[in-house]
Structure formats: C-alpha cells, structure tokens
A = this chain, B = another copy of it.
Amino acid sequence: MKLYAVIMAGGVGSRFWPRSREKTPKQLLNIIGAETMIQATVRRLEGLVDKDRIVIVTSRLHKEEILKQLPDVPEANVVAEPFGRNTAACVGVASLILKKIDPDAVSVVLPADHIIKDEELFRKTLERAAAFASESKGLTTIGVTPTRPETGYGYIQIDDGEPSAGIHPVRTFAEKPNYATAVRFVESGDFYWNSGMFIWRADAILEEMATYMPELTEALRMLEPAVGTERFDEALEEAYGMVKNISIDYGVMEKSDRVFLTKGEFAWNDVGSWEEVYQLTEKDAEGNAAVGDVYLDRCADSYVFSPGRFTAVVGVDNVIVINAGDAALVCRRDQAQAVKKVVEHLKLNQKNEYL
C-alpha cells in the first residue's frame, strides 16, 4: 500500500489575531515552538508518507508561502482554492486528484494546525487505520481519548463490543456539549474527541459523497477532466462556484453507515485560542509565558508575545497581550474566544490593513 496524505490548510485563523493575519494564518505561524504548524504537520508524517505523496489544499493567498516553508513538497501537489468552501469540498477535490494518480490510493486527511505529542504513537494510529482502509471501504476517524470534559470539541460515540484490530464502529456524532454533558461523555468511556483527522480510500469517500452530497459530486465530475492540466485552477474556480460551504462531518460522516473510529491515545490539541497557547507554553514561577522583548512587573498567569517590539505589563494578571506589527491585543485569558469578534469588527469597518 502506498499511503498518501491530504493536508487541509485553508484556515484563516482569526482567533490568533493580531499574529494571524489574512496573509499569515495560524498554520503558517510558529504558534508553539520553532516550526510553523504546517511544517510540524508534514514532519510528523516522515517515514510514513513520502513528500511527493502529500497533497496540500490551501488558499491562493498562501500557496507561495507554503511552498517556501515546505521546499520538499512538489508545487503540483499544492491545490490553491480560489476561496474557502469548508472541508467537504477540500476533501472532495483532493480525493479526486489522488484517485486519478492511484485508483487504490489510501490517504490520511489531516488539518494543518494541530499540536500532537507522542508522535510515534500518532504514526502507529495512522498505520492501524490505513491498514483497515486498504482492505475496506470504511471511513475511519481518529477519536482522541478525552483527558478532561472539554466543551470546545465535538465528540464521537463508539458502539459497544470488541473492536476489530483497533477499529470501532461509530454509533453517533455529538456537537460541542455543555459542561454537564461533557462530564457525562468523559465518564461514559465510549465518547472520544472528534479530531477532524480521517483515513480512507479516495474512492470510498468519493462514493459516499455521491450518495450524500450530489451537488458536490456533480461539481467534481465537471472538474475531473481538468485534473493535471493547465486548466485546473480555472476549472476549480468554476466548480467551487457550484458547491455549498459544508463540512465533511456534516456532509458525509454524520450520515454514512460505513464510519469507524480508531482511538488516538496521544496528546492532541487543536489550539483554538490564545488561552490554549498559554496552556501549552512553558511558564515561569509566576505563571507567565513571555515571547520577545517583554518587561513584566507584578504580573502573573499571563501570556505576552512581542518579538521585534517592546511590551511592558505592569500590575495586570490573567491577560493575553499580543503586540504584533501594526496592531496589539490585550485580552482577559478567559475571553480569548472573543478575539474573532475583533476580526469581525475590522472586516465590518473595512480596516483591511489590520486583517
């Protein structure tokens, strides 16, 4: 089996403003550590997927930067979306391309902006699911074993009974729960975090799309003759003009009856907010994490980011302070989700220079 990878890198990352901007979304930034998130995503596949079998789906705006960050990925493997159309369209187009290259292609489908520790365990999990996919038309998702009653993630419930080679049939998908429900989910032992990572044969997911997403399938049929030709970008724009903005979860996974789950026992985080960056970053004795030229005076439990600029924080606790380029953010840590509202404000008021 030749294993392929589809990396979904279309995100705009408005929750990491003012570091993330339209030209440099989260996946292109080194939010944690030295590597950018997409570089880490590609590196984690080493030994499992060859670089020339990685297809990256991103925005036209970011193709150049991605090729710069990943010089070993062939340019032809980077699909530049004319505009975002959510994960169903992204997966459909990538699977179409893979199926044309290799009718038996098995691919792992990964977001470009997750943090994963225990990388060896991560690769073993992918291998286990890939072995199952190569022998079946099953659509397997990685369900991360929950370590806390997190209300920021969706959950997936598995069926009772013994799994076959670590692969569990899925009973149901659950939206982000409230806290009480999340506690119940975690205590039950059969609910797992929906990581948004999938493993399947390209033809299998396309077949299920044909059943549950006829419009997308029609658009893909029109796009197919252009795959591998100079007309591709133009044809992709036409196809995207026909499809709805729907996630692969909503479009296929929640409806299909060939959905399976394999447990991800590794540490995983989708780093959805500055608060999570704070949690994932090493702190000093006062609970502060500082990046760049920072002065802290009677300040605790805070994250301050200010490379190439100087930021002083005096007498303030539990804040996120991001001083990046021409814009700065000061945000109470437990309000970090509201950062996307700043981006909405900027859009609404056409302050494009800060986006």
- Which A residues are closer than 8 A to B by beta carbons? 17-18, 293, 295, 297-298, 306, 309-316, 319, 321, 323, 326-332, 334-335, 338-339, 341-342, 345-346, 351, 354
Contacts and interface: CB of A to CB of B under 8 A. Distances in A.
12 contacts: A17-B312, A293-B351, A297-B341, A309-B326, A309-B327, A310-B326, A310-B346, A312-B327, A313-B330, A313-B331, A314-B339, A314-B341
Contacts of A309: 326-328
A209 to B, nearest CB: 40
Contacts of A315: 331-332, 334-335, 338
B342 A330 contact: no
Contacts of A342: 295, 297, 312, 314
A330 B330 contact: yes
A47 B235 CA distance: 77
B314 A354 contact: no
A328 B330 CA distance: 11
A306 B330 CA distance: 12
8 closest Cβ contacts across the A-B interface? A315-B335, A315-B332, A314-B331, A310-B327, A312-B342, A310-B354, A313-B330, A311-B328
A329 B293 CA distance: 12
A122 to B, nearest CB: 34
Nearest to A336: B314
Say how many copies of this protein the assembly contains: 2
Contact of A331 (B17, B312, B341): B312
A326 to B, nearest CB: 5
A295 B332 CA distance: 14
Contacts of A319: 316, 330
A318 to B, nearest CB: 9
B314 A316 contact: no
Contacts of A297: 335, 338, 341-342
B328 A323 contact: yes
Contacts of A326: 309-310
A350 to B, nearest CB: 13
A328 B329 CA distance: 10
A109 to B, nearest CB: 34
Given A297-B342, A310-B327, A330-B330, 7 more contacts: A17-B312, A297-B335, A310-B351, A312-B339, A313-B329, A323-B328, A328-B328
Contacts of A335: 297-298, 314-315
Please indicate which of the listed interface residues A315, A327, A331, A346 has the most CB atoms of chain B within 10 Å of its own CB.
Answer: A315
Contacts of A293: 351, 354
A297 to B, nearest CB: 6
Contacts of A346: 295, 310
Contacts of A327: 309-312
A196 B156 CA distance: 72
Of A17, A298, A314, A342, most B-chain CB atoms within 10 Å:
A314
Contact of A328 (B312, B316, B331, B338): B312
Given A297-B338, A342-B297, A330 B312 contact: yes
Contacts of A306: 328
A186 B315 CA distance: 31
A330 B311 contact: yes
